Amino acid sequence: MTRRRTSRLLALPLAFGLLAAACGGSDGDSDGGGDTTPVATEASGGEEPAEEPAEEPAENEDIAEAGTEAEGDVDTEAAEAISAVSYGGDIAVGLEAEAVGLRPWEDTCSSPCYNIIGTIYDKLMEKDSNGQLQPWLAESISSNEDFTSWTMTLRPGVTFHNGVELTAQTIADMFPVQQAGTVSAGVVAASGLVGVEATGDLEVTYTLGAANSAFPAYLERAALGMVFEPAAAVADPDSYSTAPIGTGPFVIDSRDLDNETKVVRNENYWNSDAEGNQLPYLDSIAFRPIPDEGTRLDAVLSGTVDAMQSLRQGTIRDARADGSLSLFEFQGNNVGGGMFNVLKAPFDDVRVRKGLTHLNSQPNVIEALGGTGISLPGSQWFSPDSVWYSEKVAAAWPKFDFEGGVALVSEYVNDPERSDGKAVGEKIDVELSCPPDPTLIAAMQVIEQVWSQTELVNVELTQFDQQTHINRAITDEHNAHCWRFSDDNDPATYTSAFAPPTAEIAAENGLDGIVSPVNFPNYFSAANFGAAAGAVATDDFDERFAAYESIMLDFAENVPLWYSGHTATMIAADPKLDGIVGWHLPQGGDLGIGQQAAEGRWLEVFITS
Amino acid sequence: MALMLFARLARLAATLFAVTLITFSMVSLLPGDPVDAILGQTERTPEIEEELRTELKLDEPFVQRYLNWLGDAVQGDLGESYINRGQTVTGEIKNRVPVTGQLALMAIMMAVAVAVPVGILGAYRQGKWQDTTTSAAAQVALSVPNFITGIFLIYVFSVRLGWLPASNWNRITNKGLVENLKTAIMPATALALTQMAIFSRLVRSDMIGTLQQDFILAARAKGLSNRFILFRHALRPSSLSLATIIGINFGALLGGTVVIETLFAVPGLGFRLINAINSRDILMIQGITVFVAAAYVIINALVDILYTFIDPRIRKS
């Protein structure tokens, strides 16, 4: 059963969130090979790619065609396995961190965690290789006219690891747990979900409090999209963290926190490959958190583990240099950089923000971060591969321009009405803060040098541990602050980033009661908020694109934040492993998104002989 | 003896009380809100944050929170992790102590096994090439940070030779002693190197002093062999400082293996503690700190008792 087809991700949907763990989009086209399941989503809202997928490559083609990828892009295309699949075998995977817990509603989950829980739980929706949302445990989903009600039909014949059958009532019973969940409660509120009802044996109706054309995007992430067994979850929520019950391809075997989480094959898994062979292929997977990047890479090179993930450019560089591993790279919307606290002087003045951004040499910063040739410079919250990427925004973004930057800052410094209360001609004070990561410190020093060279800026570099760093942003103690923006979810999932940051600003704009704790730069534009709200009230892609483009253009004009480069991620594996980027939609349908944001899908991985 | 034990226990209780108060105060002063750490970057509303704060009793005054914790702690309940909800602090300590304890014990044993003969040799051959060589080696060992040693060991024994796993931990209960030792030997060696240097320097200097004592001269005059004099007569009185420093360092290793445990991804107390600090998992920090402090005091009390066996003069006095 040798399968080999190639596809290239062409367009991506979408989605972003502040400070998400590195995520990425890749480009390529779907080959649509295999038996495509007849369940194409009817979900609306931004799932259409901006352009049609490229021509389907020929079957058995070895190497993906280049073509539409952004210059310098290093994404690995989703591709069919190159070897005959085989059953059996145990592998170990090194993760950059431990999963806090294994409950989708209760425990925060980022890239390392998704590797684990993705084997235990199935999601209702998944992304195909074009980045479009497609049903997974669902068979179809559609909305009413105004996107306030979504009707989903579930796949029949699915059972949980404990033998309980998945029905519409299961999804309805999950909802109270999700409403009360530490993590999912906020997502429920953000999505506008107010009710879930079983309207048939396998038919579920989601009721929203307001229009949300991008609602299915929430069903593709853990908090609302991963299906758990609600009766068991309610009976013993604490035990569920270490002994979760899902419908996924693997069953939890053991969990030794900070050491190893082992999952074993689910013999009754509902999904099969294109030839009807039951999935998964592997007997077991042991996920091992190895926080040190160097040790994790050494662990793969020495055979201690068979694969690893990384969200660090330096590790990608080292793995490339070694040359002995299979590397699956991905670069999506998540973009590094920083933000100005616009509620504080002198960052309340756009001349300062824009001037300092003109004085940010992106290539040098990316070089300091170790990302040259790996990370693409950012100009917006979308990578050049994303369907939401705007050339207009890219052109509008303030580029490195020393004289231009000096002119703007100088204008502020010499303004008798300058907002920081200092005397005319006195330098502005800028505290530039990052977590104490060596590469971030190097990048900060690059920025500091240029800013200081202007003779207009006193730069103070500070470093705080990650939690303190985040807390300073939440409590508005920050000034110029390293940060990450966006991810590969639908932009609608991050509408609250554009909401008023304080009650006072909300009141001034007639938006009483709408206050967002996650608008970290504290920058508010009524037009942006209106555009974000409007974008979820329509499923017309062009309208939605225009809305998000207008927000990004406003950012380019008013510069509440600055960018370095998009975050590159990687899964590196022993070449004996295959099928890592070649997972399919159910029953061997279209290719899935691959290894976006180093979220490995281990369902179809096998060991080559 | 009973009076001494009582005094020790009283001192232990006072120390632990001070440690709990200081730790609780310091952790509470740390910037960063546990609620933010729990919610991460997920969507939230101010109401959700407040609910969580109330649920965790973070909205209560400091003194009340401390007294509540202390009341539970004296009954053996150190609370639950804020981050890994449902996970008890006591359970985590029970799970981690065997790992860190084994590492610390192996490191100390390896260090003593090497340091004692090296220290004796240095003292016996004072000023000769054996002494200068071992002294120089000790200086090097003291100068190299243990994580550098760890990286070197991984490169040589995992990447190049493929003899040992580069990371993680095989528990004896699951995979047997041999597999366990394969994961333990490199981190233990990395920890042991500095200890070896310290111990050997200490044994050397103490032995030099002892070898100048009258009773050593008397032993020599009796025609006893050098080996007999060194190991039978000189080593014992030279071991008091070594015993002290072993006790202190063993206690320190229980809470101080953070870097090595992180480098080798070993699920010990240090690894857990640093994760707890980074995520503002207050009760976990508090619980582990108290445990380490208690272990430290108890180990050093045991060392004090050990003195009486090493040197009968102390027992008699």
Q: What is the pLDDT of residues A100-119, one digit of tens each?
A: 899 999 998 989 999 999 99
Mean pLDDT comparison of A142-151, A308-317, B45-54, B289-298, highest-scoring range: A142-151
The pLDDT of residue A430: 97
Q: Do B86 and A239 touch (CB under 8 A)?
A: yes
Query: Does the structure show a pLDDT above 50 at A53?
Result: no
Q: What is the pLDDT along chain B (317 residues), one digit of tens a residue?
A: 677 778 778 887 888 888 888 988 888 877 767 787 777 666 777 778 888 888 888 888 888 989 998 999 888 899 988 888 788 999 999 999 999 999 999 999 999 999 999 999 998 888 899 999 999 999 999 999 999 999 999 999 999 999 999 999 999 998 999 999 999 999 999 999 999 999 999 999 998 988 888 888 888 888 888 888 888 888 888 888 888 889 889 988 887 788 999 999 999 999 999 888 888 888 899 899 889 888 888 888 788 777 777 776 666 65
Beta bridge partners of A25: A331
Residue type, B298: I
- Name the phi and psi angles at A271, rounded to 5: -95, 150
Tokens at A23, concatenated: 């995520």
Q: Where are the domains of chain B?
A: 2-74, 96-316
Query: Does the structure show a pLDDT above 90 at A308?
Result: yes
Which helix or strand (DSSP H or E) is residue B228 part of?
Answer: helix B226-228
Give the whole-angstrom CA distance, residue A298 versus residue A126: 32
Tokens at A376, concatenated: 């693409």
pLDDT in tens, A168-189: 999 999 999 999 998 899 899 9
The answer to whether A591 and A273 are in contact (CB under 8 A) is: no
Nearest CA of chain A to the CA of B277: how many Å? Answer: 9
Give A549's pLDDT tier (boundaries 50, 70, 90).
very high
SS (H, E, C) A53-69: CCCCCCCCCCCCCCCCC
Query: Does the structure show a pLDDT above 60 at A258?
Result: yes
Give the whole-angstrom CA distance, residue A451 versus residue A360: 8
Give the whole-angstrom CA distance, residue A270 versus residue A157: 7
Q: Which of A26-35, A96-105, A244-253, A330-339 has the lowest mean pLDDT?
A: A26-35
Radius of gyration of chain A (CA): 24
At CA B174, angle to CA B172 and CA B176, rounded to 5? 45
Beta bridge partners of A125: A135
Q: Tokens 């099969």 sit at which residue?
A: A272
In this prediction, what percent of chain A has a pLDDT beyond 70?
A: 88
Q: Which of A386-390, A469-473, A574-578 has the lowest mean pLDDT?
A: A469-473
Other CB atoms within 10 Å distance of the CB of residue B133: 14
For A430-457, what is the mean pLDDT? 94
Best mutation site among A221, A318, A467 for testing chain B: the one with the most B CBs within 10 Å?
A: A467
CA distances from A247 to A164, A226, A250, A252, B48 (A): 9, 9, 8, 11, 29
Give the whole-angstrom CA distance, residue A379 versus residue A549: 12
DSSP class of residue B234 equals I
Among the partner residues A256, A292, A304, nearest to B165 by beta-carbon distance: A304
The pLDDT of residue A58: 36
Chain B within 8 Å of A609 (Cβ-Cβ)? no
The answer to whether B158 and A298 are in contact (CB under 8 A) is: yes
Decide: residue A448, CB within 10 A, 0-12 exposed, 13-18 middle, 19+ buried: middle
DSSP class of residue A427 equals P
Residues 256-295 (A) with a CB less than 8 A from some CB of B: 256-260, 288-292, 294-295
Residues 164-203 (A) with a CB less than 8 A from some CB of B: 182-183, 185-187, 189-190
Q: Do A101 and B84 touch (CB under 8 A)?
A: yes
The pLDDT of residue B158: 96
The answer to whether A157 and A142 are in contact (CB under 8 A) is: no
Give the E-state strand segments of A476-559 in sequence order.
480-485
HSE, side-chain direction, 13 A CA sphere, residue B227: 0
The candidate with the shortest Cα–Cα distance to B134, out of B148, B151, B117, is: B117
Nearest CA of chain A to the CA of B211: how many Å? Answer: 46
Radius of gyration of chain B (CA): 24
Query: Does the structure show a pLDDT above 70 at A376?
Result: yes
The pLDDT of residue B315: 63
Residue type, A30: S
Give the whole-angstrom CA distance, residue A31 versus residue A55: 8
The answer to whether A337 and A480 are in contact (CB under 8 A) is: no
The answer to whether A91 and A15 are in contact (CB under 8 A) is: no
Among the partner residues B85, B151, B265, nearest to A288 by beta-carbon distance: B265
Give the whole-angstrom CA distance, residue A232 versus residue A230: 5
**Residues on chain A touching B155 (C-beta within 8 angstroms):** 298
CA dihedral B261, B267, B268, B273 (to 10 degrees): 80
Decide: residue A349, CB within 10 A, 0-12 exposed, 13-18 middle, 19+ buried: buried
DSSP A354-390: HHHHHT--HHHHHHHTT-TTTSPBPSSSS-TTBTT--
The answer to whether A91 and A607 are in contact (CB under 8 A) is: yes
Among the partner residues A182, A239, A470, nearest to B36 by beta-carbon distance: A470
Beta bridge partners of A569: A330
DSSP class of residue A26 equals -
The pLDDT of residue A513: 84
CA distances from A452 to A430, A432, A444, A460, A462 (A): 10, 12, 12, 10, 15
Query: Does the structure show a pLDDT above 80 at A467?
Result: no
Nearest CA of chain B to the CA of A23: how many Å? Answer: 14
- Name the phi and psi angles at A580, rounded to 5: -70, -45
Among the partner residues B84, B92, B167, nearest to A100 by beta-carbon distance: B84
The pLDDT of residue A466: 80
DSSP B64-90: HHHHHHHHHHTTT---B-SSSTT-BHH
**Residues on chain B touching A256 (C-beta within 8 angstroms):** 171, 267
pLDDT in tens, A60-76: 333 233 334 455 667 88
Question: Which pTM does this prediction carry?
Answer: 0.85
The pLDDT of residue A438: 84
Query: Does the structure show a pLDDT above 80 at A7?
Result: no
Sign of the CA dihedral B93, B95, B97, B103? negative
Pick the CATH number of B96-316 from 3.40.1170.10, 1.10.150.170, 1.10.3720.10, 3.40.190.10: 1.10.3720.10
